[in-house]
Amino acid sequence: METALKSGTNQSKESPVIVIEHLYKQFGDNIVLSDFSLSLRKEENLVVLGKSGSGKSVLVKCVVGLIRPDRGSIRILGKDLLGLEEDELNELRTKLGFLFQSNALYDSMTIRENLEFPLLKHQVKISEAEMEARVMEVLENVGLEHTIDMMPSELSGGMAKRIALARAMILRPDIIFYDEPTSGLDPVTSREIASLILEMKEKYHISSIIISHDMACVKITADRIVLLLEGKCYAQGTYAELEQSKDEKIRQFFK
Ligand SMILES: Nc1ncnc2c1ncn2[C@@H]1O[C@H](COP(=O)(O)OP(=O)(O)O)[C@@H](O)[C@H]1O
Ligand SMILES: [Mg+2]
């Protein structure tokens, strides 16, 4: 009995949280994804590396159900994404966190209201006191408790990114998607955000897909890198493995 239980546990730990197979997406004549496959393991920080316009954001939008791919399959947390009804998709979304490149904070809401928003939207049944505790917890995680009553316009770029990260965490997601989390930030702030991404993974055992071409951020965060090129997964490996590659298409990212 005990053995069976144990092996069951091990198996669930090993099965990937996202499996993407043979994904195709084109807009008119523009073929963006062409037989793209990838899996994300539990508690893994996976970086998708690729040049501007290579389809990184399209990929993430497919995976979170914002864009429908032309062909292929996407399994998230054991669910067949493309076969889900709207309410099932909404249920799944409560387990996913997003950090958009633009942060997507609501300008007319305070930081507290921005952080409460996902809880209210998904009608998470918790008491006022627990809501307050959750807001404080995510603010503490990013070191910005004092901004709770401020407006987004009062924040610096780095602070806004931290708040967006706090909001991505508020539903205690299993998976977070980070789209260019350090773009537009200075190198010091970028490293701070990258370190926070790593801390959140270690503290909450989150699995993440991180889109980036900021190699300092990639080096800090990546357990594994996949290189998206011409719509396909061109190469994958750790930072150290890819850095040593002699392939010019890989080398150009490490110069
Ligand atoms: N909604 C859309 N309609 C038409 N073309 C799109 C759309 N979204 C993205 N594209 C095109 O797909 C390609 C990949 O875009 P994107 O995924 O945003 O690149 P990046 O790797 O920089 O994130 C680009 O050529 C872009 O113009
Ligand atoms: Mg993009």
Measured in whole angstroms, the distance separating CA 210 from the mean position of its chain's CA atoms is: 5
- The CB of 213 under 6 Å from ligand 1? The reply is no
Residues 14/44, Cβ–Cβ less than 8 Å = no
Rounded CA-CA distance 253/214 in Å is: 9
pTM for the model stands at 0.90
Taking only the tens place, the pLDDT of each residue in 88-119 is 998 999 999 999 888 999 999 999 999 999 99
Taking only the tens place, the pLDDT of each residue in 120-140 is 988 888 899 999 999 999 999
Q: Residue 250 pLDDT > 60, yes or no?
A: yes
Q: Give which of 229, 230, 228, 221 is closest to 239, Cα–Cα.
A: 221
Q: Tokens 């144990």 map to which residue?
A: 6
Domain edges within the chain:
103-172
Of the chain, the percentage scoring pLDDT greater than 90 comes to: 86
Q: Residue 7 pLDDT > 90, yes or no?
A: no
Rounded CA-CA distance 81/64 in Å is: 8
- 28 three-class SS: coil
- The CB of 3 under 6 Å from ligand 1? The reply is no
**Ligand number nearest to the C-alpha of 50:** 1
Atom of ligand 1 nearest to the CA of 60: 17
Residues 170/134, Cβ–Cβ less than 8 Å = yes
